[in-house]
Structure 1
Amino acid sequence: MPNSKKYKKQYSEFREGKGIRSNTFILLIYLAIPYFSVTAQQVTPKPISCLNLIKQSNLNSQMQPDSVKHIPANIDEPTIDAAWFVPNATPCLVGKYQKMELGFKLPELIQKKVDDFLKGIHPENQLNPYDPDLLDVRITLQSPSNQQYIKPAFYYEPYENLGGTYTKQNTDFSFRFRFAPDELGTWKLSVSVVMPNETINGNYVITFVCVPSNHNGYLVKGNYGDERDRYLYFKENKTTFKGIGMNITHSTYDDNWTSTELAQHKTWIQNFANNGGNFLRLELGAQNALPDWIEFNNYTPRMKHMQMFDELIELAEEKDIYFMLFRHHVEVLKDGPEWDHVSWVENPYKKAFHLTQRIDFFTHQEVIKWQKHCLRYIMARWGYSSNMSVYEYSELDLFIPESEGRGDIFDKPLKSTEQTSIRDWLAQMAFTTKRHNPNLFFTITFTQGKSPSRLKELYELPKKTSYDFNHVVDLVGFHQYHDERKYTNYEDRFEQTDKLWKYFNKPVICEEIGFSDDPTNLIYCCEPYEFKNNVWATFMMGNMSSGMHWWWDRGIFKTGHEQYFQYLKNFLSTENLEGYSYKPNKWKDGSIDKMKIENYYLLSNQKESVLGWVHNATYRWRNLFNTSNCIQKMVANTSDYSCICEDGHLLVSGTFNYNKPEYIDYYQNDVSDVLNETFLIEGLKKTTSSTLKHWYQIDFYHTQGVLPENMFSHTLVMPTNRRGRLKLPITLYALAPDYAYKISYLGYHKNKPNVQLTGNEK
C-alpha cells in the first residue's frame, strides 16, 4: 500500500470536521432454503434436540480430552448448557462447507470468574476468557469417517445495529463454536472446559448431520506437476478457481470504525460480487477489528468491531466470494503522527511489555505467546469459513523499515540475526494458523517496485539457511503500481509473474496494482481503460487471479468500473483450465513507447487451445488528451477532484506534473488507428506440408460496449504457417479498443474445415 500515513492523516482530518427424525424430509426442506448468512445475535437460539445426555462412564473416550479432574455430571441436565444458533432454520442440520454456530453457557461458578475479570474486580477470583492456558473451552469432533478434531470455542459478546449504533446485547451463551463441516453424514460433538488442574466435561454428545449444499468447498492446490499448478482448485469438484479479484480491504483509516463506514464497505463488496468478482482481499487491522490492538490480553474492547467484521465475512459467504485475510505493517509503523493511533507508539505490546525496539515484537517470548493466543482467537472466530483461502502478512519489509537506525534489515543480508528472528516468528505464526485451520494458505508479500530477482532474494532470506521465508509460504505474490507510466505496468507484471512462478513453482498473486498515488488516481474518474486492461492482461499472464486493484475508494466504484469484471467472468465461464496446461505468452509490434498493438495469451502445452487478450496499445489515458475534457483538466491541474473518494471528501492538494517523459509515449496526446493491422499468435502447430495444414478457429469477444452475455463478436478460421504462427487481422473500432479471443484446434486438413461462422466473417 503506497503512502498510507498520508491518507490516514487526511482521512482523520476530514472525519473530525430433537435428533433428526426424518432426514430425507428435512434434507428436502434444507435444500429448498437459499443459503444466506444470519448474524448470530439477531436470532433466537434453538434448543438442541440432537443433544443426547449420557452418563459420564458411557462417554466415548475418544470424544473426550485428557483431564485432570472431572466434576460429576447430573444425569438429568447438562453440565454445560448448549444452544444452536446457525443455521437457525434447521437445528442439527447444516450444509457441507457452510457455517454452523453453537453457544455454550458455562457453569455459574466459572462464568462468575470470567465476569470478575471483565469487570476488573476480585483479582484473586478471575479467569481470563482470552487466555487458553487458564480457560480453554474445547470442542471435540468426530466425523462420519471417524476422524477426530479438537477445536477451540471463543468468548463472544453480541452487538446489534440499532438505528445506526452497534449496541451490546445480552446472552447466556458467551462461548461460541463456529464450524463448517466438510464431510457428509452424521457428526458427533462434545465440549469440555479445561482449566489448570480441573476439567469439566459436558455430559452429552451433540449429533448433527451434514447434508449436500451448493458450496464448492475451500480452495486447494492442484499438484499436477505442470503449469496447472499456477491456479487453485475447488475442493468439492476439483475444477479451477478462476479468480477475478480486487482489494476492498477496509472502510476506515483510523480506529473509530462506524456503522456508516461498514455500510459503505458492504456496498462495495456487493457491487463487486454482483459484477462477477469472486476473490477479495480484506485487512484485519488495528483500525477495524484486530482483537488484541486495544489490550493485548483482553479483546472485549474490540467486540463491537469484531461483530462488524463478522458481517463482512458473512457477506462474502453469501456472495460466494473467496477472500484473503491480511495483517499490515502499520501495527509496528515507527514514528507515526501524533493523531494516528495505528502505529508502533500505540502498539499494546510495546506499552504492556515496555518494548524498546521493534525487533522485540518478534522475539519477546511472552509477546509471541499472546500473539499466538490472538491468532487462535482469529481462527476460532473467522477461520471456520470455507471462503477464507489465504492468511497473509503484507509488506513484510515494512514491518521494520528501519531497524532502529541501522538500516533496512531486508536490505542488508549480513544482518542474519534479525532476519532469522523474523523468520522464526513468521514460522510460529504460520504453524499456529495451520494448526487451527490446515486448509488455509499462508503467505507474505513485500512492498512494490522490486524486481523479480530482488523478490527472489527476499523470499530466500535468511541467507545460507535451509529454512527460509519461501519454506514458510504456500503462495508468492507481488505489488506493482504506476499504471500512469507508459506500458511498464503490463510488461513488468508479466515478468514478475513469469519469474516468480519459475523460481518457486507456487501460485502467484498479483495482489496490489493501480496508479501510484493521489492525484494520479484521478485517472479512474476520467477513463476506464487502465483499470479494465489490467484485469484482462494480468489474468492472461498466468496469475491465480486477475490483478487486484488497490484503490477501491478512489473512484473505481463511483464511476462503475466494476462492470468490466462481468466480461472476464463470462469469457471464462465455459473454460476448462484444469484440462490443459496453459503457459503465458506475450507479443507486441514494437518497443514499449512506440508499440501500437500488445497481446497477452495463454497457450496450452498441446498447442491446441489459446485464451488471450489484445488491445490497441495507444489507447491509454495520456493519449486521450485531445478527446477527454477530464484528462485535459487533470493535466492542467484544474480538476475539481469531484470523484476521488466514495464518501465525498477530498484527499488531493497541490499540483502534479503529468508532462514527465515517463507518462508520454511516441503518440503523445492522441490515439493511433490500428484498424486492419495484424497481430501474431506464436507457438502453435507448424504447417510444413504444402497440401495439409493445421487449422484453427479463432473466436473474438468484446470486453465492453455490449451486454456481457452478448460479448461474442465474430469468428475466423485460419491455418498456421511454417513457424506455427497465426497472423490475425485487427478489427478494433473506436468503441472497441481491445478484444478477448479463444483459439481452438480444428485438425490437420487439406481444405478449410466447414465450421459455423458468424459476424463479419460469416
Structure 2
Amino acid sequence: MKIKNKLMKRYLLIIAGVFFLSGLNAQVNVFDCGTYHQDLSPSQVNSQQVINGSCMTLGANGAIQVNNSTSKSVFASQGITLKNDVHIGAFDTDGGVHLKITGKAGLEVVVMNYTDLYGVLRYKKAEFGIRLPDDILTRIGHFLNEEGIHQDELNPFLEWNIDVEAMFTHPASGTVRKVDGYYTREYSENSQTDDWDDVGTDYPFRVRFAPPLNGDWIAEISIRIDNEQQPAYTSDLFGFNVVESGDPGYVKVHENKKNLIRGERMIFPAGHNFPAPNDHGNAFLGAGSSYLGNYLLTLGNTAKATNTKEWDFYLQKVESYFQQGGRYIRTSQLPWSSLIEFEKKGNYYDRLHYAWEQDKLLDLCEQYDALMAFNMMFHTPFVICDGYGMSLWDWERYWKDSNDKIYYDVQDPWPVYCYNDNPQEVGGKKPHEALSNEDDLKYHEQRTRYYISRYGYSTKIYEFELLSEPFNVDANAKDVTKPYQDSITQEQLRQEIFTAIEAYHGRLGWYIKEKMGHNEHLIGVDYSPDSWQKPKDQSFLHGTIDVIGLNDYDASFNKYIKTKNGDNNVFEDGENSRAKIVKDFQSWTGKPVILSEFGDDEKYKGCTTYKGSVIDAMSMGFTGICGYSLWEGQIEGQEHMWTATIRAQYHLNGDDVINTLSNGNGQWMQGRQKEKIYNAHDEAAKELQYYISNSKELSVGYIRNRTYNIHTKRIGEKCNLFINTIPVDNLYNFVWDDGPYKLRLEGLKNNTDYQIDWYSFEEGLYIGSDCQNTQGDELVLHFPELSVTSDKPEQPLVWFVVREQNCQQAMRSSEGESDVLQLFEDIRQDVGIEDNSDILDNTEKLSGIYPNPFENYFIISSTCEDILTLQTIDGTVIGNYKISKGVTKIPTAFLPKGVYLVCLQKQNQQFKIVKQ
C-alpha cells in the first residue's frame, strides 16, 4: 500500500524479506546481488514512476531528490540499498515513495554462459537455465520413462502440456520480448562407442535471448501447466545490463524488396549447402565401408543413424570452409542425421543429441561471423517412394531390390515416418494430408517452436526456410510421378497438394510470427524454377513469408539465357532466362528471390569435373537474386570447388558490387545478352549479364564463353549432351570483336567515359583495364580473349567492373601503376640485383607490396610463381591466389578497412598491409 504524506512529513515504507539462492554446478544464480546489482542514476529515477528490478542501489551515481508532489515506487525482488545522497521528502498530498522487496522464493534461475550479468553482449546469446519444481520433474519423468502408464504425465515438448516462457523488458525504451523455453539434455561424446552419453543437468529447461538494445533489462520466467491461463510457477524479477558487441544484428529485407541487408550494409549470401552429416552413406541402411566409427543404426535405434564421429567430421569440414574464407552456408534437417522428430510424433527426447550438435554449428558460425540459412524440414519423409535410395526415411515401406526394381514390403519392420499414422496396408494416408490435417499441423507447430526457441536467438541465421522442395511432396519413384511439378496426374490431386502446401507454409509462418511473436528472422518458402510456366501453390502470397527460394538444377549450356531478343535491359513476353524467372517471382510476390540449391543436374555428377559449378558461382549472382547456395561442394572430395565460391562471395559482397546494388535506395537495373560468333552457328557462344547502378555511374557483371560446358569438359559419356550443336559441341576461343554483334552495356550515361577493369576466371585476379566512351547510352565491351582450348590459359569467363571515369585521368592512373611496376625493375638494374628477392627482403625500404596502405588493389613482386595467402590479422584466410614471377595485381575492393597479412607460401615470407 502506498503511503502519502498529508502532513508534509517524510515517510518511508520498506517491506523487507531479502533472500538469495546459490548457484549450482558453476552456473550463476541470477538473483544473487553479486551477479547483478543495478545502481540507479538520478536520470533513471526521475524518468520512471515505477521501477522494477532485482538488486538496486539509489544514490551511488549522484544525488537523488524525491519530494513535494513526486511519486515513486521501487520494487526489487532481492534488495534495495539507499546511499547518503538519497533525499526523500518532504511531500505534499500527492507525493510519496514506496520501496518494496518482492522476493517470494520462486523458480531457481541461473545464467549458463556468463559469470555475472553486468556485461551481457548485445545480439549475443544469454542462456538461462530453470530448475523445475519436483512435482513437474516427476510428471515429465512419467512421460519420458513410462509413457502411457500415468495419467499425470507431461510431455516437455508440447506447449499444451508445459509452457515455459520468459518476458524480457527494456525499461528505457518500453521494448518487451517474449521468448519460449525448450527442454534439453546435456551430453558428452564417448570416444569408445561413438555414441552420446547423457551427463544430466539440474536445469533441463533453457531460455536463450540475444538482447537487441544496450542498457538495463529486467526479466521474469513463468511455467504454465496443462494449458492453464495462469502460471503455476513464476520466478522473481531479475536484471542484467547489456553492452555493445559490434554485432550488426539480424538480416532483413532491403527496402528495394530484392536484396538483403545486415545492419547498414547490403549483403549477398553466396556459399554452399552443408545440409548435415551426409558424407559416408549414413542415409542408407548398411552404410558403406567409408562410414566413420561404430555403426549405431539398428532396428530399435534409428535415431542414431549418424554417430559422433560423423558429426565431428561434418563440423571439421564446415570449419575448414570457414577457415578458407567461406562465410555463408545452408543447412537442412535431415531425418538420418539432424531432424529432431521422426519415429515419435511430438517426442524429441531420443534425438536431442542432434540438437546438441547443431548448437556447436552455431558456435562455429559465431566464431567466424558466418551466416546460415536454416532449412527446418527436408522433404524426403513426404516422398511416397524416394528415388535416391533413401527408402528408410521416406513415407511408405518401399524398397529397391538387386535389380533396381521397386517393391512394397508390408512386413517391413523399420518405422515409417511418425506422421504416416495410416500406412498403405491400413488405409493409405498420403503425405500431403499430413501438411493440412489440423492435428498434424499442431505437432508441426511444436517442432517449429522447438527450433525457434533453441536457435532463434542467433543473428547468424539469416533465414528459416520452412520446407525443402515441396514440389516433391507425394512424389513416387515407383510410378515416376511428381504431382506438384508435372502435369501427369489428376487435377484434383494437384489442387489437394497445392492446398496442403499452402496450409503448411501459412500455418507455420503465422505460428512463428504471430503466435510466438518471433519477427527477428526471415521466413522462406521453396519453389522449382519452372514454376513460372506451370500451376503452383500460392504460399508466396502469405504475409508472413519474406523470401522466395528456388531449387535450380540445370546442366544446359544456355541455362542463364535460353531465349532473348530486343533491348538488354527489357524483360519481354516469351523471354526464357534465369533473370526473367527471378523478375517474375519478384513481381508476383514483392519479395527477394534466393537460390536455396542450384548447380548442374545431379545425374551428371559422375561425368563432370564440376567446372560448371565454378561458372555458376561466378555468374548466378548477376541474375537478380539476393543470394545462393551451391549444392555441389558439400561432400568429401569436393573441397576444390570452395575456392571459386569464396572468391565470388568476396566479389559479390565487395564495394564494387554492393555499391552498384545499393546506389539510389537499391534501384539497380539488370541486363543480359547472348550473341553468336558466326551467323552460321546454331547457338550463341557469347553471354553477358550485368547490373547498372541507379546513378548509372557503376556497373558490374560477367562475360562467358558458352562453348565451355558440361559436354565439352566431360569425363564420361553420360555428359555427351550437345552433339552437332555448333559451336557448343566443341571448344572455341574468341575475342570481343568476333561475330556480327558486339556485347554491350545499355542504359549508361550518354557520351560519357567509363573505365573497365577485368578479372580472371576462378581466382578473380586483376587482368587489366581499358577506358571507353559511350555511344548514346551503350558501352561496347572490349573483353580479353575467352580461351578454352588446351593450348591456351583456361579463361571461359571474366568479371568486369565499370566506373564512370575521365579516360585521361584513368590513363594517368594506369601509367602511375605502370611506374610502380617499373620501379622494381629500375632498382634491380641500378644495384645489380639478379632477382627480386633482395628487394622483397628489404621491407624497410621497399616491402615488395605497393601501395601500402592500399585501397582497391595492391601489387606484389615475386621472384617465382607462388601461392599468396591473404589473411585477417587473427589468421582467418580470406583467399589464396596464384601469382606469377614478377608482378601481380591483387584486387581488394571487397575488403573492409583494416590490417591484413600477406603470406607467400613457397618463399616463406609474410607482409603486413593496411586497407584504408
TM-score range, shorter chain: 0.7 to 0.9
Computing the radius of gyration over CA atoms, which structure comes out larger, 1 or 2?
Answer: 2
SS of the residue aligned with 1:420? helix
Contact 2:419 2:440 in 1 (8 A): yes
Kindly provide the CA deviation profile for residues 286-314 of structure 1, in whole angstroms up to 9, marking residues without a partner as x.
22232222211221111112111222222
Partner of 1:475: 547
Aligned to 2:180: 152
Match of 1:458 in 2: 536
Does the Cα contact within 8 Å between 1:131 and 1:373 map onto a contact in 2? yes
The answer to whether the aligner puts 1:488 opposite 2:555 as a matched pair is no
Partner of 1:696: 754
Deviation of residue 285 (structure 1)? 2.8
Q: Distance in 1 between matches of 2:728 and 2:439?
A: 61
Map of 1:646 onto structure 2 = none
| 1:90 to 1:271, Cα distance in 2 relative to 1, 3 A | farther
How far apart are 1:168 and its partner, in Å?
0.9
* Identity within the alignment, %: 17
- 1:680, 1:727 within 8 Å by CA — same for their partners in 2? yes
Question: Is 1:394 equivalent to 2:468 in the alignment?
Answer: yes
Q: Give the CA deviation at 1:452.
A: 2.6
Match runs of 1:523-534 below 5 Å: 523=608, 526=609, 529-534=611-616
How far the C-alpha of 1:594 sits from its partner, in A, is: 3.9
CA root-mean-square deviation: 3.5
Contact 2:696 2:749 in 1 (8 A): no
Preserved CA contact (<8 Å) 2:106 2:233:
yes
Give the AA of the match of 2:624: G
Map of 1:67 onto structure 2: none
Code of the residue aligned with 2:548 in structure 1: it is V
Question: Aligned match of 1:274 in 291, 298, 323?
Answer: 323
2:391 aligns to what SS in structure 1? coil
- Write the letter of the residue equivalent to 1:453: Q
1:103 aligns with 2:92: no
Q: Specify the code of the residue in structure 2 equivalent to 1:721.
A: Q
Q: Which 5+ residue runs of structure 1 have no aligned equivalent?
A: 1-42, 62-73, 462-467, 625-630, 636-655, 688-692
Looking at structure 1, the residues matched to 618 and 663 of structure 2 have their Cα atoms a distance apart, in angstroms, of 21
SS in 2 for 1:372: helix
Asked if 1:536 corresponds to 2:615, the answer is no
Higher helix share: 1
Instruction: Give CA-to-partner distance per residue, 1:206-243, whole Å, 9 cap, x none.
Output: 2122211132211111224xxxx311001x3x210122
Q: Is the partner of 2:718 in helix, strand or coil? A: coil
Distance in 1 separating the partners of 2:120 and 2:103: 28
Q: How many Å apart are 1:613 and its aligned residue?
A: 1.4
**2:158–2:346 contact (8 Å) kept in structure 1:** yes
Confirm or deny: 8 A CA contact 2:131 2:203 kept in the other structure. Answer: yes
Q: Conserved in 1, the CA contact under 8 Å of 2:169 and 2:217?
A: yes
What is aligned with 2:112?
85
1:511 — aligned with what? 596
Asked whether the 8 Å contact 1:372–1:432 carries over to 2, the reply is yes
Deviations 1:145-181 (A, max 9, x none): 1222222111111112242432111110110011111
The aligned residue for residue 94 of structure 1 is: 120
> How is 1:484-633 mapped onto 2 (pairs within 5 angstroms)?
485-488=556-559, 491=562, 492-523=577-608, 526=609, 529-545=611-627, 547-554=628-635, 557-570=638-651, 572-575=653-656, 576=659, 577-580=661-664, 581-590=667-676, 594-624=683-713, 631=714
Distance 2:496 2:718 in 1: 43
- Is 2:422 the counterpart of 1:366? no
Deviation at 1:59, TM superposition (A): 6.5
Mapped to 1, the partners of 2:544 and 2:213 lie a distance apart of 28
2:275 is the alignment partner of 1:289: no
Asked whether the 8 Å contact 1:686–1:721 carries over to 2, the reply is no
What is the 5 A alignment of 1:174-253?
A: 174-196=204-226, 197=228, 199-224=231-256, 229-234=257-262, 236=263, 238-252=264-278, 253=283
State the AA in 1 paired with 2:352. M
Of residues 298, 321, 324, the one that matches 2:347 is 298
Q: C-alpha separation between the residues in 2 aligned to 1:222 and 1:550?
A: 26
CA contact 1:478–1:496 (8 Å) conserved in 2 = no
Matches within 5 A, 1:330-369: 330-335=380-385, 340-345=391-396, 346-351=416-421, 356-358=428-430, 359-369=432-442
Change in 2 beyond 3 A, CA 1:182/1:201: same
Paired residue for 2:720? 659
CA distance in 2, matches of 1:744, 1:621: 34
Give the alignment of 1:103-142 within 5 angstroms: 103-120=129-146, 123-142=150-169
Equivalent residue letter for 2:322: A
1:756 pairs, out of 813, 830, 833, with 813
Q: CA 1:54–1:548 in 2, change beyond 3 Å: closer, same or farther?
A: closer
User: Deviations for 1:650-696, whole angstroms, at most 9, x for unmatched residues?
Assistant: xxxxxx53333369652534342437759533224464xxxxx4111
**1:565–1:90 distance in 2 versus 1, CA, 3 Å:** farther
TM-aligned CA distance change 1:427 to 1:682, over 3 Å: same
Shift of 1:522: 4.2
Name the CA distance, whole Å, in 1 between partners of 2:109 and 2:137.
14
Q: CA deviation at 1:517?
A: 2.2
TM-score if structure 2 supplies the norm length?
Answer: 0.65
Hey, what does 2:746 align to over in structure 1? 683
One-letter amino acid of the counterpart of residue 617, structure 2: V
Shift of 1:268: 3.2
Residues in 2 aligned to 1:311 and 1:355: alpha-carbon distance in whole angstroms: 42
Whether the 8 Å contact between 1:497 and 1:542 is mirrored in structure 2 is: yes
Q: Which has the higher contact order (CA 8 A, sep 6+)?
A: 1
Q: Distance in 2 between matches of 1:136 and 1:190?
A: 14
Q: Which residue of 1 aligns with 2:773?
A: 719
Q: How does 1:399-478 map to 2 (within 5 A)?
A: 399-401=473-475, 408=483, 411=487, 416=495, 419-435=498-514, 436=516, 437-447=518-528, 450=530, 452-454=532-534, 457-460=535-538, 469=541, 471=543, 473-478=545-550
Q: Which residue of 1 aligns with 2:16?
A: none
For residue 743 of structure 1, give the secondary structure of its aligned residue in structure 2.
strand
Taking structure 1 as reference, are residues 564 and 347 closer, same or farther at Cα in structure 2, changes over 3 Å only?
A: closer
- Partner Cα distance (2:447, 2:112) in 1: 24
Please report the TM-score for the alignment, with normalisation by the length of structure 1.
Answer: 0.77
Say which SS state the counterpart of residue 188 (structure 2) adopts: strand
Displacement after TM superposition at 1:334 (Å): 1.0
> What is the aligned partner in structure 2 of residue 71 from structure 1?
none
Give per-residue Cα distances to partners, 1:435-470, cap 9 Å, x unaligned.
Answer: 33212222222346x25333xx41447xxxxxx755
- Aligned AA (1:716): D
The code of the aligned residue for 1:683 comes to E
Q: How does 1:54-93 map to 2 (within 5 A)?
A: 78-86=105-113, 88=114, 91-93=117-119
SS in 1 for 2:602: coil
